[in-house]
Structure 1
Amino acid sequence: MQETNLELFPTAEPTIDIVPGRKLTAKAVALYAAPSDHFETKAVEELHLGFDGIANDFHSGMTRRSGGREPWYPRGTEMRNERQLSLVAADELSIVAERMGLEEIKPEWIGANMLIGGVPRLSMLPAGSLMFFQGGVTIKIDAQNKPCRVAGQSIATHVHASDRDAAALLFPQTAKRLRGLVAWVEKPGVVRVGEEISVRVPEQWIYKA
């Protein structure tokens, strides 16, 4: 058997700090769906989730078309839909509203599907985190949901902003890393308002080549 060349792995290289995984307890405070041709959502008591997301929802589908978030593809390229669900937290939306000089920002204005309670700094949950719902559904976190001008325009409309363009642009500037998460369905089923959620955060590290 050929011996491993240890010189390929110099001991002088700095070690990688690994933060252990952990479990958190959360709650589905409110649920929303967009049963129309528009991304804004409406409050519902339950969500029927399949492998393609929420049944008949604006963001449902196994695949989606690429947009401005994927500059490496020509716009409109068919790709996996990792944005089936949008998750937000009330405390983070309150911070954004305060920064924008507003009394509130409602989850449905920006197309949220789930208002999650009990997770500190929800938007900072790492990719790969799993949410196990009491009723049997599992969803997997893909990434932070980057705030965009489209959601900003929705907010500006609902608050009757005097300068809607300025308000729309202010949202991406103030909501960075506070806009929540996008996720996809790993195990389908029905989620109901008030369900407890077991959150499993994976090991984390900073990759350095």
Structure 2
Amino acid sequence: MSTLFDRLDDAAAPQPPEIRPGRRIAGRVLGLYAAHGRGFETRPAASLELGFDGIPGDRHSGATRRSGGREPWYPRGTEIRNDRQLSILSAEELQALACDLGVERLAPEWLGGNLLVEGIPQLSLLPPRTLLFFASGAVLKVDGDNAPCRVAGRAVAEKTGRAEIEFDFVKRARRRRGLVAYVERPGAIGGDDRFEARIPEQWIYSAG
């Protein structure tokens, strides 16, 4: 009579995943922004002094936040860790997205961005756990891509005077909306700072 362990031994072992080594990519800050109020839109800043809560006074600062539509597994309004302290946008991705939407430009402020950067190909696809190291010693930890929403789409529609963009933005900005991150190590970021993205070893988990 076979046992569970016998059947497990007979089962084919899962194939090992493709493992890609970690790597480092250099980038540069082009602009800094903060939202010191209740509104969604950010405003230019000369520098950002980051603490463990994020940007002091910014609408997204804090060690915790309230869950929303992005976390359907919690009742809306549940207090959870704030992994969305900063919004990071790519100049290259914004330019391509503006072209696809048929508008002259997409300003980072319209999308509630905090950092506009260049030099990181496909920034929005950087994997979770990527670390961004700045010269001051500040380190940001990437939580993941920032899924586009109608709030941002509505802001772009209002700025461009094209109402249809509110919905078109959500579709076209997928995986090009930038990243959300939180402060792992406090420090200052300047408007022309260089930084290094340290991408961790990657693999796709599969149990069969």
Q: 1:192 aligns with which of 144, 169, 190?
A: 190
Displacement of 1:34: 0.6
Q: TM-score, normalised by structure 2?
A: 0.93
Show the counterpart of 2:137. Answer: 136
CA distance in 1 between counterparts of 2:51 and 2:23 reads 27
Matches within 5 A, 1:166-181: 166-181=164-179
Matches within 5 A, 1:66-105: 66-105=67-106
Paired residue type of 2:74:
Y
CA distance in 2 between counterparts of 1:43 and 1:145 reads 20
- Runs of 4+ residues deviating >3 angstroms: 5-12
Q: TM-score, normalised by structure 1?
A: 0.92
Q: Is the 8 A contact 1:88 1:114 kept in 2?
A: yes
Show the counterpart of 1:202. Answer: 200
Number of residue pairs matched? 202
CA distance in 2 between counterparts of 1:94 and 1:149 reads 20
Q: Deviations over 1:91-140 (max 9, x none)?
A: 11112111211111111100000011111110111000000101110000
Q: Is the 8 A contact 1:45 1:192 kept in 2?
A: yes
Displacement of 1:85: 0.3
CA distance in 2 between counterparts of 1:24 and 1:187 reads 19
Q: Is the 8 A contact 1:28 1:196 kept in 2?
A: yes
Question: CA RMSD of the aligned region, Å?
Answer: 1.6
Displacement of 1:11: 6.6
Q: Deviations over 1:69-105 (max 9, x none)?
A: 0111111111111000000111111121112111111
Q: Is the 8 A contact 1:85 1:112 kept in 2?
A: yes
Cα gap change, 1:20 to 1:56, in 2 (>3 Å): same
Displacement of 1:52: 0.5
Displacement of 1:13: 2.5
Show the counterpart of 1:114. Answer: 115
Identity among equivalent positions (%) equals 48
Unaligned runs of 5+ in 2: none
Cα gap change, 1:91 to 1:73, in 2 (>3 Å): same
